[in-house]
Structure 1
Amino acid sequence: MRLTPRFLLSAFDEAHFPKEAQTHNAPEVAFLGRSNVGKSSLINALLGGTQARVSSTPGRTRSINFFGLYDDPRPQPEVIFADLPGYGYAKISKSISAEWSGFIDPYLADRETLALCICLVDTNIPPQPPDTQLINYLREIRRPFLVVGTKSDKLSNNTLGNSVLALKKGHGVDEVMPCSVKDQRNIKHLWARILATRDKPFVD
């Protein structure tokens, strides 16, 4: 299914979140991860363009950027992507960015149309405490999430297998989906998981 992406808005405050007139209550998929984990690159690979800005400076994204994906000529989006600010960058904060308590926590905890959180972790490094903190928080607020391992093309199959096992154990999860923008590993499978949110009820 080929969808047309369109940038909706950047939200720096809870009051700026897209309204029903813009989203038509389409399911929203949030992308979260530490700074420089490859979040913008993955979003661009899924969207088939350069809608999400890729910066060489970690921590550059400071807003939630919303993108609608449309099955033209239908006027309502099939799904909404929410690109959240990266966390864990020392120049911004020691753990999850200070801005999170102001408008990102409310988005994750209270947004009725948020259907899935994509938690990105780097397959090239050991499990990181901020990632575990995020995953545990999503468990506490009962948000569906999927852990995706980025940059998997940099590892051999054996090394990647060991890395995935370590990430699963370190974060206490049953699944880590290794993905790669360069060789398109599991990009189609990730798309399928995202599109499946259209058939599931939202969390109350």
Structure 2
Amino acid sequence: MKIRNATFYKSVSAIDHLPKEQLPEIVFVGRSNVGKSTLLNSLTARKGLAKTSSTPGKTQLINYFVINESCYFVDLPGYGYAKVDKGKKYEWGKLLSHYVSTRDSITLVVLLIDSRHPDMESDHLMAEFLEHCGRPYGVVLTKYDKLKQQAKAAARLAVKSYSLKSKFIVNYSAISGQGKEELLEQLAIYTG
């Protein structure tokens, strides 16, 4: 997949505000501060397209980006630790659960996992949820450049142990670009 253009489309806080257009949606999900927005900026080669922050919980809405005028990349709020109150987390959970389990135009969910913490219970639960919903998903191990060689192999093994139905596992570094082409090839399969 070659990304020729990428633009912000809209932010959504409720299911009834989702786009009516039935373009394929590739959804990016992961724990707070795992690097979802950074990954989107890296994939599109557009620094600042998706807002990034070192503060967990920066993404608080479902953010839609139009890619090549043929599909959406969708940046979801992170799960797990975020600097927001419990009520807000609960509302996010309801919104995201409903969105992921019922949205017909979702063609792929990309589960981002911090390669430095590959065995978090919240990631296990998300993989189980995606499998329960019957959603095709792939795994991206983010921040891969920060690991030593031995830890890289251990991270992949840990993720393989609980993401049995994932379509792919890609090691990714937004800094070096490692994994970018491989991931774009995988995404192309699901963009129609």
TM-score, length-scaled by structure 1: 0.85
Name the structure 1 match of 2:44. 47
Structure 1: how far apart are the matches of 2:61 and 2:82? 18
Go from structure 1 to structure 2 and tell me whether the alpha carbon gap of 1:157 and 1:6 turns closer, same or farther (over 3 Å shift). same
- Kindly indicate whether the alpha-carbon contact (under 8 Å) linking 1:87 and 1:93 is maintained by their aligned counterparts in 2: no
The answer to whether residue 38 in structure 2 is matched with residue 30 in structure 1 is no
The DSSP-based 3-state class of the residue aligned with 2:190 is helix
The DSSP-based 3-state class of the residue aligned with 1:198 is coil
The answer to whether residue 95 in structure 2 is matched with residue 103 in structure 1 is yes
Deviation at 1:101, TM superposition (A): 4.2
Where does structure 2 lack aligned partners over 5 or more consecutive residues?
none
User: What does 1:110-121 align with in structure 2 at a 5 Å threshold?
Assistant: 110-121=102-113
Go from structure 1 to structure 2 and tell me whether the alpha carbon gap of 1:173 and 1:92 turns closer, same or farther (over 3 Å shift). farther
Name the structure 2 match of 1:73. none
Go from structure 1 to structure 2 and tell me whether the alpha carbon gap of 1:169 and 1:51 turns closer, same or farther (over 3 Å shift). same
Equivalent in 158, 178, 186 of residue 185 of structure 1: 178
What is the RMSD computed on CA atoms of the aligned residues? 1.9
Name the structure 1 match of 2:13. 12
Deviation at 1:81, TM superposition (A): 0.5
Structure 2: how far apart are the matches of 1:189 and 1:27? 20
Higher alpha-carbon deviation: 162-171 or 186-195: 162-171
Go from structure 1 to structure 2 and tell me whether the alpha carbon gap of 1:93 and 1:137 turns closer, same or farther (over 3 Å shift). farther
Q: Which amino acid aligns with 2:8?
A: F
Name the structure 2 match of 1:56. 54
Deviation at 1:40, TM superposition (A): 0.8
Residues 35-74 of structure 1: per-residue CA shift (max 9 Å, x gap): 111111111001111211001210121100000012xxxx
Equivalent in 136, 148, 151 of residue 143 of structure 2: 151
Structure 2: how far apart are the matches of 1:116 and 1:172? 16
The DSSP-based 3-state class of the residue aligned with 1:18 is coil
The DSSP-based 3-state class of the residue aligned with 1:15 is helix
Q: Which amino acid aligns with 1:122?
A: D
- Kindly indicate whether the alpha-carbon contact (under 8 Å) linking 1:92 and 1:98 is maintained by their aligned counterparts in 2: no
Q: Which amino acid aligns with 1:176?
A: I
TM-score, length-scaled by structure 2: 0.90
Structure 1: how far apart are the matches of 2:5 and 2:102? 27
Structure 2: how far apart are the matches of 1:120 and 1:85? 12
Go from structure 1 to structure 2 and tell me whether the alpha carbon gap of 1:102 and 1:155 turns closer, same or farther (over 3 Å shift). closer
Structure 2: how far apart are the matches of 1:189 and 1:84? 22
**Identical-pair percentage:** 35
- Kindly indicate whether the alpha-carbon contact (under 8 Å) linking 2:141 and 2:172 is maintained by their aligned counterparts in 1: yes
Deviation at 1:134, TM superposition (A): 0.8
The DSSP-based 3-state class of the residue aligned with 2:29 is strand
Structure 1: how far apart are the matches of 2:45 and 2:118? 30
Where does structure 1 lack aligned partners over 5 or more consecutive residues?
71-76, 200-204
